[in-house]
A and B are shown apart, each in its own frame.
Chain A
Amino acid sequence: MLNSIIQGILLGGYYALIASGLSFMFSVMRIINLAHGSLAVVAAYALWVLAEKFGIHPFLGLLIVLPAMGLIGWALQRFVLERSIRSGALLPILTTFGLAIVIDNLLFEQFGADTRSLAPYIGSLSYDAFELPGGFYVGQLAVLTFAVAVVMLGGLQAMLSFTPLGRAIRAIAEDPDTAGLVGINASRVNALATGLAMITVGVAGAFLAMRATFDAYAGAPQLLFAFEAAVIGGAGSVWGTLIGGIVLGLAQALGAQIAPQGFLIGGHAVFLAVLFARLFIPGLGFSARVRSLFRRST
């Protein structure tokens, strides 16, 4: 029991990782990118190709893949989302959904139905464990994932609070028109923000590929996990995402204790429970975070 709680919390680190980019984009541009999970899988495949074909260690591969993801994000905002949102707030949902279908099926066309993993390329990290007092073992990779999630969320928060870019992003999220009046180039800032979000997606993709196997259609469940973590944690600061991830991870780990299918059911159930709670406690949730996130950091 205690063991599955520990594993659940660490699993939450991965969910926070994948959710951070999604909720970041939502809070800045009010766009939910339905290709989010598929882009994480793109990064995973890119790292796999670098490791398999060129013998580049996945951690070194990140030096190539993360800037590329940043560029993809920049282009996504510049050429797709910016145009799409002009025709209505709902249109980016359709555009990014179409994009996800294209990405998934192109990946399938290219890489086929075999599942892949980065585990064989990271040596003993994939199975080494720390021993905790009380005879518990926690995987080193899981601890690393959690640590990276904390560092990345902290970095995002610091960037929003202390840098000029962060100030511009906050201004645009608060009121895009007024931000424009005071000389902030919304289109440029949004493109940078999307680039940042995609870098976090690249990191998430790397950990997805190291901790388990993935295939061309792995993007959809990642999107759902990211979304659930973001909604569950939605109440407050950037750290809400971490809490959301942990709650989701815990629900899944405990659900799995009850029945094999309980892993996913537990996660979905806790998501619904939070939605239900929101009926009675207003201000709890994803949409409300936009304001509270930035108020708190200003």
Chain B
Amino acid sequence: MTTLKQGTRVERWTPASRLAIGVVMIVAAGLALAPAFLGAGAVDRLTTLFIYVMLAAMWNALAGFGGLVSVGQQVFFGLGAYFAIRLADAGINPYLSLPISALIVGAISLPLSVLMLRLRGGEFAIGMWVISALTHMLVNLDTLVQGETGTSLISLNAYAMEDRRAFIYWLALASMLALLGMLFVLLRSRVGAAIQAIRDSEEAAASLGVRVVGTKRLLFVLAAVGVGMAGALWLATAVTFQPKTYFSVQWTAYMIFMVLVGGIGTFEGAILGAVIFFLIETWFGGTGVWYLVGLGVVAVLFSLLLPKGIWGEIERRWGLRLLPVGYRVVLPPDAGPAPSSSTNTKPDREA
């Protein structure tokens, strides 16, 4: 393949992905109206699902696109909840305190990134865990939190239960869509090309003039805001704040599970993984320890046997991209001996 055949073109949108965007919009509109039709339990469960999608998408942004595997993302989850408590205690409307808290978490992540982005690979992974352990202890020192006893978002009780449920649902839905939308736009922008170049090869990207650290910092802060918002929303649904549950490494374990199963480094994979995790939790969550053992075993098996996850496998086999964030080259039908002769669409590496 030394010369380009005539008829070679670069495509981004495909009929399938145009259809997918349409479906996404219809689903989003349907979800927005859902509280009018669904019972209280279903609304609560869907809120949980939205939070999982946020967690998965943010961890995937960091690890799948930025190449930054963190086992300490629970630090942002815990801080998101903690600052919401703090802000509400200072007299700010509890609903308003949730997004503000997420922004504060983002502001904190910026100086933190200076320190942490110097670390590589596994060092970054456990380094974040240490940060989380330290932050957990510092939060425990706050007299408002009363150590592991914890506290709660009392000011939420001023609102009627039904209104509260619906409002938190909408807030979670809006946050999820906003974060996914931001990520989607970001990945399709010029920065997105840089991000995906870094994902494929950091050295090669740097040699082409990609600002590697700056780009990673962007993802680090975005992930912090997103996970912080998820933590704040979780607090709004659970009301009680016990540092131990929020700063638990289990949150990161869930994020890893969702992304690994769904498909690391693919936009659609994280969402798929969150839905799968949500279903598994709904069906098996009650089995306690064995449920956690099962999650671990599945994660290990995926990392060994199917490291690209379910969506990665779907992309590889059928070249299907529903929410395209890259470009790909489509060869003309008579383009010589194509690598896979059965198809003329070579799912080439993305731009």
Contact = CB atoms under 8 A, between A and B. Distances in A.
Contacts of B87: none
B130 A276 contact: no
B238 interface: no
Contacts of A30: 121
Given A87-B307, A268-B137, A275-B119, A224 B130 contact: yes
Contact of A32 (B121, B140, B260): B121
Contact of B118 (A34, A224, A268, A275): A275
Interface residues on B, range: 35 or more
Contact of B67 (A90, A106, A287): A90
A175 interface: no
Contact of B134 (A108, A109, A269): A269
Given A90-B67, A275-B115, A95 B256 contact: no
B36 interface: no
Contacts of B293: 101-102, 105-106, 109
B218 interface: no
Contact of B299 (A101, A106, A286): A101
Contacts of A102: 293, 296-297, 300
A276 B130 CA distance: 14
B280 interface: no
Looking at A34, A80, A268, A269, the one whose CB has the most chain B CB atoms below 10 A away is A268
A84 interface: yes
Nearest to A223: B126
B125 A261 contact: no
B256 A224 contact: no
Interface in A50-83: 80, 83
B141 interface: yes
A99 B300 CA distance: 6
Given A88-B307, A99-B300, A275-B118, A268 B133 contact: yes
Contacts of A221: 133
Given A94-B69, A102-B293, A224-B133, A32 B299 contact: no
Given A99-B296, A102-B297, A287-B120, A94 B126 contact: no
Contacts of B245: none
Interface in B110-158: 114-115, 118-123, 125-127, 129-131, 133-134, 137-138, 140-141
B303 A272 contact: no
Given A102-B293, A272-B134, A34 B125 contact: yes
A101 B122 contact: no
Interface in A92-127: 92-95, 97-102, 105-106, 108-109
A238 B127 CA distance: 21
B122 A265 contact: no
A87 B257 CA distance: 17
A192 to B, nearest CB: 21
A26 B122 contact: yes
Interface in B289-347: 289-290, 292-293, 295-297, 299-300, 303-304, 307
Nearest to B290: A109
A184 interface: no
Interface in B235-261: 249, 253, 256-257, 260
A101 B260 contact: no
A92 B137 CA distance: 29
Contacts of B69: 90, 93-94
Given A93-B121, A98-B297, A279-B115, 14 more contacts: A34-B122, A90-B63, A95-B303, A99-B296, A105-B289, A105-B293, A109-B290, A224-B130, A261-B141, A264-B134, A268-B130, A271-B130, A272-B134, A287-B123
28 contacts: A26-B122, A31-B122, A32-B121, A34-B125, A80-B300, A84-B303, A87-B303, A87-B307, A90-B67, A90-B69, A93-B69, A93-B71, A93-B121, A94-B256, A94-B299, A95-B300, A101-B299, A105-B296, A109-B293, A227-B126, A227-B127, A261-B141, A264-B137, A268-B137, A269-B134, A272-B115, A279-B114, A279-B118
